[in-house]
Amino acid sequence: MTIEEMIRAYQAIYPDCDSHIEAWQFGAEPDQLAQLVLDGKKTATASAYDEYLLHDEPLVKVGDHSIILNSQDDPVCMIRTTKVTVVPFKEVSAEHADKEGEGDRSLAYWRQVHWGLFSQCLEKGQLTFTENSLVVCEEFEVVYRPEGV
């Protein structure tokens, strides 16, 4: 199934769905993280706020739909954003880290992995990531997955 086919299939069920649906992969391990979503273990994600500014992208908002891609850019499911909060890195909660479903699901693990990821991403834009840098914490639910996925 292609991205366009997934959008059409979803809109056939929910015709009021916004036609602008982003498709993207999760960070460093798209296949593993997409599988966590499919398994129901990953119901949240996070990004550095400054990345939105660097790429001149609108901030994600409640009700937005996205298609999650694997490492081959094949769509695996569609999600709908249910909650968005923006907090300094040092204030991301253990609850959010658990909802991300990665590693041992601890805040310590989350901070270690995301510190490196956010620092590297912002370094490309000649920005420095700090404990006070803002993080966009997003919660979501799977609203569509093709049969056989």
The alpha-helical segments, DSSP class H, found in the chain are 3-13, 30-38, 49-54, 94-100, 107-124
pLDDT digits (tens, 9 = 90+) for 34-90: 999 999 999 999 999 998 988 898 999 999 999 999 999 999 999 999 999 999 999
Instruction: Evaluate whether residue 35 is within a structural domain.
Output: yes
Instruction: Evaluate whether residue 71 is within a structural domain.
Output: yes
pLDDT digits (tens, 9 = 90+) for 32-44: 999 999 999 999 9
Distance CA 18, CA 21 (A): 7
List the helix and strand counts (H, then E) for the chain: 5, 5
Looking at residue 54, its amino acid is: L
Range of the domain at 132: 3-144
Instruction: Evaluate whether residue 149 is within a structural domain.
Output: no
Domain count, the chain: 1
- What is the phi/psi pair of residue 117, to 5°? -65, -50
Q: Single out the residue of 73, 72, 80 nearest to residue 3, CA to CA.
A: 73
pTM: 0.89
Tell me, what CATH number does 27's domain have? 3.10.400.10
Return the bridge partners of 137, or none: 46, 85
